[in-house]
A and B are shown apart, each in its own frame.
Chain A
Amino acid sequence: MSEAMTTSILSDLISGAKAADSECVLAQEAEAFLTENGIPSKKHEDWKYTNIKRLFDNGLELISANDVSFNSVDGVETRLMASMPEGRQPGFTGIHSKEAHAALNTALFEKVLVVRVKKGTQVSDELILNQAIEYAGNHFAATRLLIELEDNASLKCQLHFTGSHASEKSLHNHVTEIFVGQNSQFEFNIVQEITEGNLVNTTEVFCQRDANFTTNTFQLSGKLLRNNLNIRLQGENAETHLNGFYMLKGSELFDNHTLVDHLVPHCESNEVYRGILGGKSTCVFNGKVFVHPEAQKTNGYQQNNNILLTDNATMNSKPELEIYADDVRCSHGSTTGQLDEDAVFYLRARGLDEFGATALLLTAFAGEVLNSVSNEELRNILERKIQAKLKEMRV
């Protein structure tokens, strides 16, 4: 055993990590995937601009994550535990056998927060989760979330990643697996605000027939934030809205990789990602819409719009549509440009000062994403945070 431990890919990658438990099939599968594939470097197309491997090369040390905090909401079962007694299990999406960071998470997470909404339950209050990320050194921690809406259920949930003291050498790895049952509605708002920390966040979603899944991701601060969001539309007439807003300053690097997988006919996906880049920041948007041969009558829309405030900011935008069905409506658009100077002058000619005019235009630009958050209180909080960051950026 001791020999197996010293040769495990896990301990090679992260000091303090042990080889996968031989009793646990899931961890074994994850470890096997990692052994074969390793952590992707910048040579890998999906990681071309985002060098996370660097953190592993510098050395990471495994620690236990802070427990996720959550409120108690009528109609929602929430349990934070090490293993699962019943129902869908972590790994049900199979993501740990497809992607290295999800595999790493699967091999190393200690506790999973399970959120379940029973069949027919319409939850009125919003579930609010907060994952604190406060790491002093080169710490690595993995957290896991499983959200299951049974049929005819509805839920709104916020997931906040927060931290003001995360070290720039640390890495937090989070995986959320989501099952949206038949005719269920789920709104999932993700807010990332971790100052100097690094985060890799994977969200894998299975949508069943007539399900509606909306997700809005807000990236407000972090040294490096990488989101992998994969939505599989598995049942007919499923609908998904995936939106994102990011604002970057200094040398921040935010990366959103999204995939909408249209597997069956009559589904709809709608994607809007927008962002504002300042300083010497770097940002990546890669949005893939995959329409399988069976997925006739698909409606797929995608839009990515970026505003660069400085000459030194870099946007890498790559829409990818792969369509194998012949009766579909799909479109995409990607724009990257400067703030409209004519609009700034127009506002100034009405009495707004330069910063006020710029802030009004940029807040309006964020509006299309902000307005898809249904909770007015959250929307107002986010708008204030966006304005506060604009002040910091002093555009």
Chain B
Amino acid sequence: MSLLSIKNLKARVEEKDILKGFNLTVNPGEVHAIMGPNGSGKSTLASVLAGNESFEVTDGEVEFDGKNLLDMAPEERAREGLFLAFQYPVEIPGVSNVNFMKTALAEVRKHRGLEPMEAKDFLAFMREKQQLVELSGNLAGRSVNEGFSGGEKKRNEIFQMAMLEPKLAILDETDSGLDIDALRIVANGVNKLKSKDNAFIVITHYQRLLDYIVPDFVHVLYNGKIVRSGTKELALELEEKGYDWIKDEVAAEA
């Protein structure tokens, strides 16, 4: 059974249609990369899957692990094991990373029928996951994302993902703006968390990330639909030739 099945998904924001019949199937153990030019609908897809209410779903079905995803509140999706690494992580003054993760993990565990972790175990678990993305201990005591550099914010997203152990993680341009060291750290974190039971959707502008996180499939999103699917060679081709040839081909087909 597939982990995620998206059929004919249509969504809009402020009366503007963005997704215009999007289809995708993701199985456990797979990494899918979604690429595409600006404005093609990549971030909308991520927001819709996470349950952002600013976006209106007008048609289509999304099944996640056998359940109707679109019926769930954002927190239910998270508890069911869907994780969005935000393109722009939000700063939350006054809430420490520790307190935030303790609360979030307790909610996710409760949903899975587990008690909250003992304080000592929790801190050890947190330290282990911090090391995974090379986040220093004192960042964890600070307010969520407040005063973090761009790279620290993105690493913090991957850290949270490691803490919550999702079935499906969507990385929304997690690589944008990262220097090569930060990119390696982020990719390394993802690769260590990859297993046969979970899956990743990596949304990106740049092929560079895919040198580090090797996708099983690459899809090109253009004008709200997937117009090409292939393997990692497709990403290399895009890097070399840009998106214009795809736009031209799509125009010619139409």
The reply to whether A348 and B78 form a contact with Cβ atoms under 8 Å apart is yes
User: With contacts A343-B92, A346-B92 known, is A360 near B75, CB below 8 A?
Assistant: no
The reply to whether A353 and B75 form a contact with Cβ atoms under 8 Å apart is yes
List, in ascending order, chain A residues with CB within 8 A of B99's CB: 360
In the complex, per-residue mask of A323-350: 1 if CB is within 8 Å of any chain B CB, else 0: 0000000000000000010110111111
The answer to the question of B246 belonging to the interface, with a C-beta cut-off of 8 Å to chain A, is: no
Taking the nearest CB of chain B, how far is it from the CB of A355, in angstroms? 10
In the complex, per-residue mask of B26-54: 1 if CB is within 8 Å of any chain A CB, else 0: 00000000000000000000000011110
Q: Which of B61-69, B100-108, B113-121, B132-140 binds A?
A: B100-108
List, in ascending order, chain B residues with CB within 8 A of A364's CB: 92-95, 143
Interface centre among A364, A365, A367 (most CB of B within 10 A): A364
Taking the nearest CB of chain A, how far is it from the CB of B163, in angstroms? 9
List, in ascending order, chain A residues with CB within 8 A of B107's CB: 351-353, 356
Chain A contact residues (Cβ within 8 angstroms of B): what range?
Answer: 20 to 34
The reply to whether A350 and B94 form a contact with Cβ atoms under 8 Å apart is no
The reply to whether B73 and A356 form a contact with Cβ atoms under 8 Å apart is no
The reply to whether B95 and A360 form a contact with Cβ atoms under 8 Å apart is yes
Taking the nearest CB of chain B, how far is it from the CB of A346, in angstroms? 4
The answer to the question of B155 belonging to the interface, with a C-beta cut-off of 8 Å to chain A, is: no
Q: Which chain B residue has the least Cβ–Cβ distance from A367? A: B94
- How many angstroms between the C-alpha atoms of A347 and B164 in the bound complex? 13
User: With contacts A360-B95, A360-B103 known, is A351 near B79, CB below 8 A?
Assistant: yes
The reply to whether B111 and A346 form a contact with Cβ atoms under 8 Å apart is no
Q: Which of A300-321 contact B (CB under 8 A)?
A: none
The answer to the question of B89 belonging to the interface, with a C-beta cut-off of 8 Å to chain A, is: yes
The reply to whether B90 and A348 form a contact with Cβ atoms under 8 Å apart is no
Taking the nearest CB of chain A, how far is it from the CB of B234, in angstroms? 30
The answer to the question of A12 belonging to the interface, with a C-beta cut-off of 8 Å to chain B, is: no
- CB contact between B78 and one of A349, A354, A360, A365 (< 8 Å): that residue: A349
The answer to the question of B74 belonging to the interface, with a C-beta cut-off of 8 Å to chain A, is: yes
List, in ascending order, chain B residues with CB within 8 A of A347's CB: 92, 100, 104
List, in ascending order, chain B residues with CB within 8 A of A340's CB: 90
Taking the nearest CB of chain B, how far is it from the CB of A261, in angstroms? 31
The reply to whether A348 and B164 form a contact with Cβ atoms under 8 Å apart is no
The reply to whether B75 and A348 form a contact with Cβ atoms under 8 Å apart is yes
The answer to the question of A361 belonging to the interface, with a C-beta cut-off of 8 Å to chain B, is: yes
- How many angstroms between the C-alpha atoms of A379 and B50 in the bound complex? 36
The reply to whether A352 and B104 form a contact with Cβ atoms under 8 Å apart is yes
The answer to the question of B222 belonging to the interface, with a C-beta cut-off of 8 Å to chain A, is: no
List, in ascending order, chain A residues with CB within 8 A of B200's CB: none
List, in ascending order, chain A residues with CB within 8 A of B73's CB: 348, 353-354
List, in ascending order, chain B residues with CB within 8 A of A354's CB: 73, 75
List, in ascending order, chain A residues with CB within 8 A of B75's CB: 348-349, 351-354, 357
The answer to the question of A368 belonging to the interface, with a C-beta cut-off of 8 Å to chain B, is: yes
Q: Which chain B residue has the least Cβ–Cβ distance from A357? A: B75
Q: Which chain B residue has the least Cβ–Cβ distance from A340? A: B90
The answer to the question of B9 belonging to the interface, with a C-beta cut-off of 8 Å to chain A, is: no
Interface centre among A343, A351, A354, A357 (most CB of B within 10 A): A351
- CB contact between B50 and one of A342, A349, A360, A368 (< 8 Å): that residue: A349
Taking the nearest CB of chain B, how far is it from the CB of A353, in angstroms? 5
In the complex, per-residue mask of A366-384: 1 if CB is within 8 Å of any chain B CB, else 0: 0110000000000000000
Q: Which chain A residue has the least Cβ–Cβ distance from B163? A: A350
List, in ascending order, chain B residues with CB within 8 A of A349's CB: 50-51, 74-75, 77-78, 83-84, 86
The reply to whether A356 and B93 form a contact with Cβ atoms under 8 Å apart is no
- CB contact between A352 and one of B77, B91, B94, B103 (< 8 Å): that residue: B103
The reply to whether A350 and B78 form a contact with Cβ atoms under 8 Å apart is yes
The answer to the question of B160 belonging to the interface, with a C-beta cut-off of 8 Å to chain A, is: yes
Taking the nearest CB of chain A, how far is it from the CB of B229, in angstroms? 27
- CB contact between B94 and one of A342, A345, A348, A368 (< 8 Å): that residue: A368
User: With contacts A351-B108, A364-B93 known, is A346 near B78, CB below 8 A?
Assistant: no
User: With contacts A345-B52, A345-B74, A346-B86 known, is A351 near B92, CB below 8 A?
Assistant: no
List, in ascending order, chain B residues with CB within 8 A of A361's CB: 92, 95
List, in ascending order, chain A residues with CB within 8 A of B111's CB: 351
Q: Which chain A residue has the least Cβ–Cβ distance from B50? A: A349
- How many angstroms between the C-alpha atoms of A348 and B104 in the bound complex? 9
Interface centre among A350, A353, A354, A368 (most CB of B within 10 A): A350
Q: Which chain A residue has the least Cβ–Cβ distance from B110? A: A351
- How many angstroms between the C-alpha atoms of A351 and B83 in the bound complex? 9
User: With contacts A348-B73, A352-B75 known, is A343 near B90, CB below 8 A?
Assistant: yes
Taking the nearest CB of chain B, how far is it from the CB of A327, in angstroms? 31
List, in ascending order, chain A residues with CB within 8 A of B164's CB: 350-351
A343-B92, A364-B143, A365-B94 given; name 11 further pairs at CB < 8 Å: A342-B90, A345-B52, A346-B86, A347-B104, A348-B74, A349-B84, A349-B86, A350-B164, A361-B92, A364-B93, A367-B94
Listed from nearest, the 3 A-B pairs whose CB atoms lie closest are A364-B94, A351-B107, A348-B74
Pairs across A and B, CB under 8 Å, 16 listed: A343-B91, A345-B53, A345-B74, A347-B100, A348-B74, A348-B78, A349-B75, A349-B83, A349-B84, A350-B164, A351-B107, A352-B75, A353-B107, A360-B100, A364-B94, A364-B95
